Amino acid sequence: MSHQELLQAHFPSAGLDFSEFRDNRRVIVPKERLVEVLTYLKTEGGFDFLSDITAVDYLEYDDATDRFGVVYILANTETGVRVIVKTFVNDPDPTLPSMYPLWKCADWTEREVYDMYGIRFEGHPDLRRIMMPDEFTAFPLRKDYPLKGRGERHNFPVITRSES
């Protein structure tokens, strides 16, 4: 039974949007049903591995209705099937429930999404920056953040030869 049949049978009125491109199987899930759908996919669908979590900023898209898309890539390690689950969050304070209780590997991937996009994951045990330094204040992969930064890379003390 494919993931689509499973989900349609179990969540008939959840507003899931299925699509497929080549071998990418995609499901768009409303934010409120995300935990249920992912839990069901893990326990009943056999998707025991969370391959990656990433996000997209749709700020400059004319036809976009939401600011951020968050993408969960699940894999079934027995059959090799992958499913891409996508949901949308919005400003201000984009927040999603953490998937750490389901898959422990969500720890670092959610920290990465938080670091780059500022999307908070509620219930995450240790939501800190993972790549940028702790004193960094911006979220650099947001489209309203300039490519060359806001001068953070120049904000260091200068050591001259006479004083070192």
Q: Return the number of the residue (60 or 122) whose C-beta is nearest other proteins.
A: 60
**CB distance 55 to 71 below 8 Å:** yes
* Interface segment toward other proteins; rule CB under 8 A; list 3-11, 109-117, 118-126, 137-145: 137-145
Asked if residue 90 binds other proteins (CB under 8 A), the reply is no
Shortest spacing between CB 93 and other proteins, in angstroms: 20
Cβ neighbours of residue 7 closer than 8 Å, sequence gap 6 or more: 14, 16, 18, 27, 37, 40, 41, 45
- Decide if residue 144 touches other proteins (CB under 8 A): yes
Residue 12 vs 133, nearer CB to other proteins: 133
DSSP-derived letter for residue 73 is E
Contact 91, 67 (CB under 8 A): yes
Examine residue 132 and tell whether it contacts other proteins (CB under 8 A).
yes
Closest CA to 85 of 141, 14, 30: 30
Tell which one of 23, 60, 93, 122 touches other proteins (CB under 8 A): 60
Residues of this chain that interact with other proteins (CB under 8 A) are: 59-60, 62, 131-133, 140, 143-164
